[in-house]
Amino acid sequence: MGVFRYVVADVFTDRPLTGNQLAVFTDAREIPDDSLQAIAREMKLSETVFVYPSEGAGHVRVRIFTPTLELPFAGHPILGTAFVLGGPLQLGVIVIETPAGPVPVELEREGAKIVFGRMTQPVPPWRPFEREADLLRALGVERSELPVEVYDLGPTHVYVVLGSREEVAALDPDLAALTELEVGANCVAGSGTKWKTRMFAPYHGVPEDPATGSAAGPLAIHLARHGRIAFGDEIEIEQGAEIQRPSKLFARAVGSAEKIERVEVGGSAVLVARGDLQI
């Protein structure tokens, strides 16, 4: 039997019991590989992170699991891990190695306390979503105000832009039909730099996600490409209110429609629990 320590963080919030929950196993070297998915299922959170020594130029390496599958990249696990490890390691920038590549996270402090983190995400490819009609039907909406496109950042995210925040709040999607589409369905509304979003990912074992960092960067790209914001504008994203986990994310896409130079996603996190798992 082994005993493995973990930390629980609420991510993309500065208040406990809100935001997106995350479990971080801070030293996973002795955890059997064939137990990782079962542990993530046991934790029953959107994602669980397992931390390993670096294999390259980063400070640590991670593996990320939802309750049903492993992801090469996800946003709130990277930000939450940076908050968990950035304090003990006393780093201003922590570089976290993922299967999608190294992700640097710049940490801001007030005194000794980390209060904000900003990650530089990989730039995803995008394409039209071929099953647009099926998606709209599953969501119960007639149309999207912008082209329905899918962005692949490890998890795949498709975007449907609605006419008002009220329409987003009122959504009651067919989760079984969404499961068959095998994507994260992001429904958004807003204007200028203020946006509201809900993200449904039942295929990943997450019926609705409280805060989706891997979707925030592509959303900034999507809005800039289609003229809703300017490249370089930082957007503020509200998510999670409908499931009593209000969250706030910040995202920016720098460059142009022809060449995305950098994608940044930021937010806060709070550490709320520590524990030991015996297996």
* CA-closest candidate to residue 120, choices 108, 104, 131: 104
CA dist., res. 271 & res. 131, Å (int): 40
Q: Is 142 one of the catalytic residues?
A: no
* CA-closest candidate to residue 251, choices 121, 145, 88, 146: 121
CA dist., res. 10 & res. 22, Å (int): 6
CA dist., res. 93 & res. 108, Å (int): 9
Structure tokens at 5: 């320590």
Which amino acid is it at 46?
S
Q: Whose structure tokens read 């609705």?
A: 208
Structure tokens at 98: 């993922």
The DSSP output letter for 91 is -
CA dist., res. 229 & res. 231, Å (int): 7
Q: Of 30, 42, 47, 108, which residue is the catalytic one?
A: 47
130 contacts: CB under 8 Å, gap ≥ 6: none
- Helix, strand, coil percentages (3-state) for the chain, rounded to 5, are 25, 45, 35
Which amino acid is it at 59?
H
What is the Cβ-side half-sphere exposure of residue 54, based on CA atoms within 13 angstroms?
12
- In 10 A of CB 228, how many CB atoms? 20
SS3 64: strand
Check if the beta carbon of residue 183 is closer than 8 Å to that of residue 158: yes
Residues acting as catalytic residues: 47
